[in-house]
């Protein structure tokens, strides 16, 4: 279990890295296996060639040296030397019997070709490399030693270089192949992330292999269908909210003609709630098209000061903490609506309200609206951002809310490319933090 857990941690998380590991490791193992087969085949061929030539060459060389006068042998010994074995006019070096299979086969071949004319002895020569000697006596009694150094596999100097070049080419081809395969996935993910609240994003280019073209076509069609469905529902919501204003106005006119009574007062209150709900519904429908406002360069400090002054004039002191001292490019009406909705929500349920503004490390803008109210249960922090959702405990219908204020603020935050997050404060109250990109 521990090894499996460690393996899962070491296993790459991205598809690109996983495919690269699989392809590179697999192709490297296959290349290494092919290289090993070549080495074995060349080693076997070299051994067979050496043993085959060894018998004939040693027999001929010993016969020549045996027939030559002793004085001429030193001159001929140099001519008879080979790369892997030489001839020594002497007793050579003593040592144990050869232990390796290669030396034993070579020694047996030499002994078999020299017998029965010559009496031979074989011993290994101590040292790091494979080395043995065959000792015999010529017809005139002179000692002769066949000094053999069996050569292993002989590799050309360019073969390891070629192997490394092939590995580099395999890695490069694997990288290109994996990048070519994973690029459509990245484009698909980027297109999904770049969808705005109205789901009207740029279509994915429909080019490449058939599978990629099919996936891009399906995504573009899905995006168009969802955008159409959403636009249709927004139009329905906006039309219903707009058309309700006419009968509400007629009802208000008729109530004005009624005599003053308790029922009239209650009906006036119901109509005011209906008008407020209709206005909020129209506003929510419009926020889904928040991107239609053109971004402009504004002074955020001046905007916050203007909002705070408006609330102070209405008898609600709003404290502004911090300042930016730098202009930002944004949609001012959408930003103002977000802040007023958050401040209204904080005043309604928290009383004391403060607004903190700061510049984040990545250059983005952070605006936090804080209150001293009862806060929101942690399990409800995400749900209260949904339209028409209201808490029944601390923030119920008796407070007069429609359940659209925070939903409108969130939709506008998305339209600005930002994020709205709610969190309960340790010292009590709620914090609504709006973060906007640089």
Q: How do beta strands 318-321 and 353-359 pair?
A: parallel
Distance of CA 72 to the CA centre of its chain: 78
Class of domain 195-288: mainly alpha
Provide the residue ranges of all domains of the chain, joining segments of one domain with +: 15-148, 195-288, 296-436
In angstroms, the CA 21 to CA 371 distance is 52
Burial of 405 from C-beta contacts in 10 A (0-12 / 13-18 / 19+): buried
CATH code, residues 296-436:
3.30.565.10
Beta-strand runs (E) in 94-183: 121-124, 132-137, 143-148
The pTM of this model reads: 0.50
In angstroms, the CA 196 to CA 154 distance is 67
In angstroms, the CA 355 to CA 280 distance is 24
Residue 394 pLDDT: 44
Give the up-direction half-sphere exposure of residue 16: CA atoms within 13 A in the CB hemisphere. Answer: 9
Residue 198 pLDDT: 56
Q: What is the pLDDT along the chain (438 residues), one digit of tens a residue?
A: 565 556 566 666 676 777 777 887 887 888 778 877 777 776 666 666 566 667 778 888 888 888 888 888 888 888 888 877 888 888 888 888 888 877 888 888 888 888 878 888 899 988 888 888 989 988 888 899 989 887 655 556 777 787 788 888 888 888 887 887 777 777 777 777 766 655 666 777 887 777 778 888 888 888 888 877 777 777 777 777 777 778 878 887 877 777 777 877 788 777 877 777 777 766 766 665 555 678 888 888 888 888 888 888 888 888 888 888 888 888 888 888 888 888 888 888 777 888 989 888 887 889 999 888 888 888 888 888 877 777 654 444 445 456 677 888 888 888 888 889 898 888 888 888 999 887
In degrees rounded to 5, what are phi and psi of residue 422? -110, 145
End-to-end alpha-carbon separation of the chain, Å?
45
Domain 15-148, classified CATH 3.40.50.300, yes or no:
no
Q: How do beta strands 365-371 and 430-436 pair?
A: antiparallel
């Amino acid at each position: 279990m521990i090894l499996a857990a460690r393996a899962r941690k070491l296993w790459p998380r991205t598809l690109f890295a996983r495919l690269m590991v699989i392809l590179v490791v697999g192709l490297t193992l296959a290349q290494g296996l092919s290289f090993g087969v070549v080495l074995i085949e060349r080693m076997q061929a070299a051994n067979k060639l050496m043993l085959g030539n060894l018998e004939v060459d040693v027999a001929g060389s010993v016969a020549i040296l045996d027939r030559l006068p002793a004085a001429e042998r030193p001159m001929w010994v140099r001519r008879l030397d080979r790369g892997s074995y030489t001839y020594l006019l002497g007793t050579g070096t003593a040592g144990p019997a050869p232990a390796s299979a290669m030396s034993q086969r070579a020694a047996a071949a030499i002994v078999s070709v020299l017998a029965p004319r010559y009496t031979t002895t074989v011993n290994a020569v101590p040292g790091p490399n494979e080395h043995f000697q065959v000792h015999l006596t010529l017809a005139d009694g002179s000692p002769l030693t066949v000094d053999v150094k069996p050569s292993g596999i002989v590799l050309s100097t360019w073969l390891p270089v070629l192997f490394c070049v092939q590995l580099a080419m395999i890695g490069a081809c694997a990288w290109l192949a994996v990048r070519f395969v994973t690029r459509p996935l990245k484009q698909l993910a980027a297109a999904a992330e770049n969808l705005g609240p109205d789901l009207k994003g740029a279509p994915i280019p429909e080019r490449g292999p058939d599978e990629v073209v099919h996936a891009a076509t399906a995504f573009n069609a899905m995006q168009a269908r969802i955008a159409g469905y959403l636009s249709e529902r927004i139009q329905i919501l906006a039309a219903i909210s707009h058309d309700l204003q006419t009968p509400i106005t007629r009802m208000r006119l008729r109530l004005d003609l009624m005599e003053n009574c308790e029922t009239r007062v209650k009906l006036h209150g119901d109509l005011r709630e209906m008008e407020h709900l209709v206005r909020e519904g129209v506003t929510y429908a419009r926020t889904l098209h928040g991107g239609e406002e053109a971004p402009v360069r504004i002074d955020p400090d001046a905007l916050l000061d203007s909002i705070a002054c408006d609330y102070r004039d209405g008898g609600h002191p709003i404290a502004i903490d911090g300042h930016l001292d730098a202009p930002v490019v944004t949609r001012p009406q959408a930003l103002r609506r977000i802040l007023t909705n958050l401040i209204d929500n904080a005043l309604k349920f928290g009383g004391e309200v403060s607004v903190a503004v700061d510049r984040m490390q990545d250059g983005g803008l952070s605006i936090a609206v804080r209150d001293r109210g009862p806060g929101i249960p942690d399990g409800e922090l995400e749900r209260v951002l949904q339209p028409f959702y209201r808490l029944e405990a601390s923030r119920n219908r008796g407070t007069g809310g429609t359940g659209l204020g925070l939903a409108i603020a969130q939709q506008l935050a998305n339209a600005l490319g930002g994020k709205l997050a709610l969190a309960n404060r340790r010292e009590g109250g709620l914090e609504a933090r709006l973060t906007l990109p640089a």
